[in-house]
C-alpha cells in the first residue's frame, strides 16, 4: 500500500502538461490579407481582423490603413472562430485505466449537485492535443448515474479551473433509461425491463417534486428551510436558468424524454440523438435542439442504410431542427476530441452544406450552450477566440498555425508533436530520413 502514492505521483509528473498559459493581450493586433470565415455573415476574402483587450474590435477590409498598430501578414491563411466540443470528459479524465484520474464519475445515481468545472484539470495532456486542431472550447460533462450533475464550458487555456471557466452551469445532465425490449425470454425480460424503467423515471419525478417543494420553502423564508446541496443543484432547471440535457438515442427514448420534459415544463436539449432523424417533426414542434454525437457510428438497425449516421445532420437541417455536431460522448473518445472537424466534414460530404457544417461546430454549438454573445463567430464585440490555419479546417490535411483565446496567444505544442520531432531525429540519425540542410 505504501507504493500507491509515489506511483500515482510519478504518473502525474509523466503526464503533466508543460504548456504555459498565454498572458493577457497587452496591445492591439491586426491580421491582414486572410480569408476570414466569420460564420455569422459569410466568408471575407483578403480581409482583416482587429482585436484588443481580448475582444474583436472589427472585421472587414482596409482596417490596417485606419490604425497604426502591430500588423501580422496572414496572406493565404484562413481564420476561423474557435471550434467548440459540445460534450466530453475533457479535463475530468486522463488515463482511463487509472481510477484516480477519472473525475467524471461520482458515487450514487442521483448527483445534481456535482459541478464539472471544480474538477477540471487545466494541466491535462489531452487539452493541448485538442486545441492543436482548433478546438478552443469544450463542454466538460460529469458522467455517472441517472443524473450526473451540471456541465461547464471551459476555455482550453488557463492556470486554474477558475481561469478556464467560460460558463457554469450550462446544463443539468440526465441519462434517460433504456427503452429497448430484449427478444430473448421476452415476457420475463420485458416485465423486468419495464419495472426498472418505471422505477427510474419515478425516481426522477419524485426528485423534481421534492425540488419544487424545496424551492417554495426557500422562497417563503420559512424557518423550516434547511440548505440541501442535492436539491440546490436541481433549482436552475426549475427556474429556467439552464436546460436539462437529456442523453437519449433510441426513438422511444427520445419520444419519452420529450414528453416527460413537456409534462414537467422543463427546457430540454437532446444529447446523442442517433434516432433523431425519425423524430424531426416532434423536435421541430417542441423547439428542442439536438447535440448530435453519432456521426461516426454504424447503423442502429440492420435494415437502415449504411450511411444513416452520416446523413442525419442533413436531415435535421432540412427539417429545420436546431442542431450542432459534437464528438462521441464515450469516455474512450476523450483523447480524440481533436477529430471534431472531421465529423462535420463527414456530414458535409453526405448532404449538409459546407457553411452549415462549419456552423454546426461553432455558432450553432454556442447558441445551444447559451454563449453566442461571446463566441462561435467572428463579430465585433465577441471574444477574440479564433485560430489561423493554412487551409479549410474541415480538410484533414489542414494545419492550425496560431490560436488565440480571449486575445491570448496559446502554445500549440503538444505530446504528439514532441514525439513526432523526437522520432524524426531517430530516423535521421540512422540515415533513413534526410536531415534538413542548415543554412
Query: Residues 303-336: pLDDT tens digits?
Result: 999 999 999 999 999 999 999 999 988 888 888 9
- CA torsion sign for 43, 44, 48, 51 is negative
Q: How far is CA 38 from CA 45, 56, 376, 383, in A?
A: 11, 12, 9, 13
In this predicted structure, what is the pLDDT of residue 14? 47
| Phi, psi of 390, deg, nearest 5 | -90, 10
Taking only the tens place, the pLDDT of each residue in 117-129 is 999 999 999 999 9
Distance between CA atoms of residues 357 and 97, nearest Å: 34
Whether 188 is in a domain gets the answer no
Q: What is the pLDDT of residues 151-196, one digit of tens each?
A: 999 999 999 999 999 999 999 999 999 887 666 656 565 666 667 7
Instruction: List beta partners, residue 150.
Output: 115, 172
Q: What is the dihedral of CA 106, 111, 117, 122, to 10 degrees?
A: 10
* Residue 73 maps to a domain: yes
Q: What is the pLDDT of residue 9?
A: 42
> In the prediction, which pLDDT does 108 show?
86
In a domain, 438, yes or no: no
Assign 145 a pLDDT band (cuts: 50, 70, 90): confident
Q: Is residue 270 part of a domain?
A: no
Residue with cell 496591445: 27
Determine the average pLDDT of the residues in 94-114.
85
**Three-state SS for 361?**
coil
Number of domains in the chain: 1
Q: CA 436, CA 433: separation in Å to the nearest integer?
A: 9
**What pLDDT is stored for residue 63 in this prediction?**
85
43-52 and 244-248 as β-strands: parallel, antiparallel, unpaired?
unpaired
Amino acid 199: pLDDT: 86
The domain of 77 spans 29-82+388-412
Cell digits of residue 117: 468545472
Q: Is residue 75 part of a domain?
A: yes
Residue 149 lies in a domain: no
Say what the pLDDT of residue 188 is: 60
The predicted structure's pLDDT at residue 186: 61
- Is 48 among the domain residues? yes
- Euclidean distance between CA atoms 21 and 163, whole angstroms: 10
For the segment 236-291, what is each residue's pLDDT rounded down to a tens digit? 999 999 999 999 999 999 999 999 999 999 999 999 999 999 999 999 999 999 99
Chain mean position to CA 66: 37
Contact (Cβ atoms closer than 8 angstroms) between residue 310 and residue 347: yes
d(CA 281, CA 295): 20
pLDDT value for 100: 78
Is position 272 within any domain?
no
Q: What is the DSSP letter of 22?
A: P
The mean per-residue pLDDT over the stretch 214-234 comes to 89
Residue 165 near residue 152, CB atoms below 8 Å: yes
The CATH number covering residue 46 comes to: 2.30.40.10
Encode pLDDT of 359-411 as tens digits. 999 999 999 999 999 999 999 999 999 999 999 999 999 999 999 999 999 99
Amino acid at each position: 500500500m505504501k507504493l500507491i502514492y509515489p506511483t500515482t505521483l510519478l504518473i502525474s509528473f509523466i503526464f503533466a502538461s508543460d504548456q504555459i498559459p498565454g498572458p493577457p493581450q497587452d496591445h492591439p493586433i491586426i491580421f491582414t490579407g486572410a480569408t476570414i470565415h466569420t460564420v455569422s455573415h459569410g466568408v471575407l476574402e483578403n480581409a482583416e481582423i482587429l482585436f484588443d483587450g481580448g475582444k474583436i474590435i472589427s472585421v472587414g477590409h482596409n482596417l490596417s490603413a485606419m490604425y497604426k498598430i502591430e500588423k501580422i501578414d496572414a496572406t493565404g491563411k484562413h481564420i476561423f472562430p474557435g471550434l467548440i466540443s459540445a460534450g466530453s470528459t475533457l479535463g475530468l479524465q486522463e488515463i482511463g485505466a487509472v481510477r484516480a484520474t477519472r473525475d467524471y464519475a461520482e458515487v450514487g445515481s442521483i448527483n445534481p449537485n456535482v459541478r464539472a468545472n471544480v474538477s477540471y484539470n487545466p494541466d491535462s495532456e489531452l487539452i493541448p492535443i485538442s486545441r492543436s486542431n482548433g478546438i478552443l472550447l469544450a463542454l466538460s460533462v460529469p458522467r455517472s448515474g441517472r443524473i450526473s450533475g451540471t456541465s461547464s464550458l471551459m476555455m482550453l487555456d488557463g492556470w486554474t479551473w477558475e481561469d478556464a471557466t467560460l460558463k457554469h452551469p450550462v446544463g443539468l445532465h440526465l441519462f434517460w433509461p433504456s427503452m429497448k425490449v430484449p427478444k430473448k425470454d421476452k415476457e420475463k425480460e420485458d416485465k423486468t425491463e419495464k419495472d426498472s424503467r418505471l422505477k427510474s423515471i419515478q425516481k426522477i419525478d419524485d426528485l423534481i417534486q421534492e425540488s419544487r417543494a424545496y424551492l417554495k420553502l426557500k422562497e417563503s423564508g420559512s424557518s423550516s428551510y434547511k440548505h440541501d446541496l442535492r436539491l440546490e443543484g436541481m433549482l436552475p432547471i426549475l427556474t429556467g436558468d439552464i436546460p436539462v440535457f437529456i442523453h437519449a438515442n433510441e426513438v422511444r427514448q427520445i419520444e419519452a424524454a420529450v414528453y416527460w420534459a413537456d409534462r414537467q415544463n422543463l427546457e430540454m436539449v437532446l444529447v446523442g440523438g442517433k434516432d433523431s432523424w425519425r423524430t424531426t417533426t416532434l423536435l421541430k414542434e417542441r423547439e428542442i435542439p439536438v447535440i448530435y454525437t453519432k456521426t461516426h457510428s454504424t447503423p442502429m438497425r440492420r435494415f437502415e442504410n449504411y450511411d444513416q449516421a452520416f446523413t442525419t445532420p442533413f436531415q435535421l437541417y432540412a427539417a429545420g431542427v436546431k442542431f450542432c455536431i459534437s464528438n462521441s460522448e464515450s469516455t474512450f473518445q476523450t483523447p480524440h476530441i481533436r477529430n471534431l472537424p472531421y465529423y462535420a466534414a463527414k456530414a458535409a460530404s453526405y448532404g449538409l452544406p459546407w457553411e452549415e457544417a462549419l456552423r454546426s461546430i461553432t455558432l450553432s454549438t454556442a447558441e445551444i450552450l447559451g454563449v453566442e454573445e461571446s463566441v462561435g463567430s467572428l463579430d465585433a464585440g465577441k471574444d477574440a477566440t479564433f485560430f489561423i490555419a493554412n487551409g479549410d479546417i474541415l480538410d484533414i490535411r489542414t494545419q492550425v498555425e496560431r490560436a488565440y483565446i480571449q486575445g491570448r496567444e496559446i502554445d500549440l505544442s503538444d505530446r504528439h508533436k514532441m514525439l513526432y520531432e523526437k522520432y524524426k531525429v531517430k530516423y535521421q540519425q540512422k540515415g533513413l530520413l534526410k536531415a534538413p540542410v542548415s543554412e
